[in-house]
Amino acid sequence: MTEQIDIFSLGNEQTIPVSNSEIEVEELSYVSSKFMSWEELFSGYEDIKVITFSSGINFTYKLLDMFETAEVIFGCENVLSGAEKNIIAYQTMLIQELQKNESKLHNRILNRIDDGTAHFYISRTKLSHEKLYLLSSKNGNKRVVGGSANMSFNAFSGKQRERIYFIDGEDAYEHYLNVFEELKKDSTDEIANEVLLVEDINNNPDKLPIARTVSKEKIVYVERTESKDVRFILETKNLADNIEPMLPKTKKPGKLINLTAETFNIVKRKMIEDNLRKSELRSEYPELIVNIENKEVELNGKKYNLNPNDEDVTNDVNLFMEYMNGYRDFHGDSVGMQYRYFEFANWFFVSPFMAQLRDMAASNDINLLPYPVFGLLYGQSKAGKTTFLETLLKMMIGQKPKMSAPDFTRKDIDRLKRAVKGSPIIVDDMTQVRFTQHAIETIKNDMFGVSEHLKNYPAIVISANEDVKAVAPEIVRRTIICRVEAGLTNTEVMKSSLVKKVQKNIGTAFYEKYLAEMIPVVEECLEQMKDETLESPDILKESSIVIKRIIESYYKKPLPDYIRELSLADYFSEKVTGKYAIKTIQNAWRTSRKQFEIDKRKNELRYNAGQSYDAERIKKELPENLEIRKSREWLIMNLEEAKKYFEIEFKKSILDLFTK
């Protein structure tokens, strides 16, 4: 959740820290206000010097291309807290961002760094809050541009509120030039051309700007600060946390930290080892990254096709429907199985968007529970659970990797969630013991990725057999649960060729079509979250609408009832989460009323579950308003509430009294 500020506490003088320090205040004179484009604002000068918190790389390159000489100091508020781990993390992330651009402007900037007409610096120690642009020309004209605008298209396009001012003249320019030169001299590292040409900066941390400074100056002093205004964003914070344990431990924490060449040798070795482990994980678990802003999807670094051939979509839709219709031949509640499996498939397909939705929800004080990132599929054996999950994953990424249950621990899952992107991780054949020991705490860690603003971590999908008897309410609220009660005989399993046929011939076209239609939907949902007057978007409903629409368009047969529009209530209403307890009580009332005792005077319904563990299982699935309590194998609950919940009058006949 984001921090809230109590505006009334600002009036309490005791909460305001006393300080004898002074701040520099600049006195300006107002002349006028006018409208102009950013090109007009910066035109007519040959040299530019910039201090910026953060930037848009494309805008940076386009702006600098207007000038013969340029110097830029990056000092991002989101990453600078003075700690050495944050410096290494930020410099790594900025280099990677600079390397992503492959435009002609990018190549021209590289050449200009080479010939010395452009210089990039990264702030290392002092936390600079300036957004400053110093312009000068050969004819002596000088201009200072300041205000709130970072170096990006959004800031200078008029799309967002910014305060931008300019001051022309020698005096203002010389004053702010001193500010620029002081920051550059005392607290920055220069980005050399060779750094931007390094293929993988993660494997070459000794090429980072700060490493070059350490190598040149032998030792660098880093000032530690503890500013609560500093917030880490995206992977930068994540990388900083990963780097922290790689750094040598200091005996006495103090204000100054010494960074030496020896320190960097240790960090370099550990970063390379960590990057190798992550590469191994990524090769086993593919990366699926959805970029909402650019309306692009990458699978293992390659652009995903969001305009699939209609013939391929038709093929995939019909194979999927053939697969789903095949459950009609299962023994038991096969109809219910189709309904449950479609619900689970709907969540499975939308899961790569959940991290971004959770990040936006947390930023706007919205409940995270409607955006679950855990799924549990369990029930009797030979219900096709594993092959169902494999088929869904094959439709998403063309592969079907799984993680075996013995490898599942909270530590391993957290590590995987940080290393793997987007594509759900399937944990196969979980036992009750391992689920209790490891899965429960993992699922309850509801704030994973929130403080780091992680936007691409995967959902965790657990399959288990019937021995996972019941799930506690705190897990039910955070998990998409699918319990199936149908299956095949051993002989039928061995004879069935449907799974093999579908998995061999189905492709990713259905899912490609789905992503293309879902990206603008999710974009709208993210915007909706920013408006506190609107309800939180139901992404599960939106996803089901898209899936149903695609199937209707490409499946030429009548649509089965289980392909339908869903909502959050289909997953988390009290009747849904307690449906197996409801079924148990209803069956018992119909076939064995001697298990019940009714006390109208006390307004109590008592039910004998037979065994203490069965009573506990049922109790976990029932809502709080039943006021349920357990005594050995007995469950005691509110009679009137039980009548409404179970839809039973609970009246015993004369015959019941004689047969008791």
User: For 75-109, what is each residue's pLDDT tens digit?
Assistant: 654 433 344 555 566 566 666 666 655 556 667 77
pLDDT at 259 over 80: no
421-468 pLDDT, tens digit each = 888 988 887 777 777 777 777 787 777 877 778 888 899 998 887 656
Distance (Å, whole) CA 571 – CA 477:
9
Please answer whether residues 340 and 484 qualify as being in contact, where contact means their C-beta atoms are separated by less than 8 angstroms: yes
214 SS3 class: helix
Specify whether the backbone of 140 is left (phi greater than 0), alpha (psi in -120 to 50) or beta: left
β-pair partners for 423: none
Give the residue-averaged pLDDT of 379-387: 83
Backbone angles phi, psi at 188, to 5 degrees: -135, 155
How far, in Å, CA of 501 to CA of 85, rounded? 51
Q: What is the mean pLDDT of residues 125-150?
A: 83
Alpha-carbon dihedral of residues 392, 397, 402, 407, nearest 10 degrees? -130
pLDDT averaged over the chain? 79
For the chain, give the longest Cα–Cα distance. 111
Instruction: Report strand pairing: 47-52 vs 132-136.
Output: antiparallel
Q: Which two tokens stand for residue 126?
A: 């002092």
The segment with the largest mean pLDDT, out of 18-22, 346-350, 653-657, is 346-350
Residue 415 DSSP SS3: helix
pLDDT at residue 148 in the model: 83
Question: What pLDDT is attached to residue 416?
Answer: 76
* Residue 261 burial (CB count, 10 A): 12
Across residues 368-388, what is the average pLDDT?
A: 87
The pTM for the full model equals 0.58
Higher pLDDT, residue 575 or 603:
603
Mean pLDDT of 530-557: 93
User: Is the pLDDT at 174 greater than 70, yes or no?
Assistant: yes
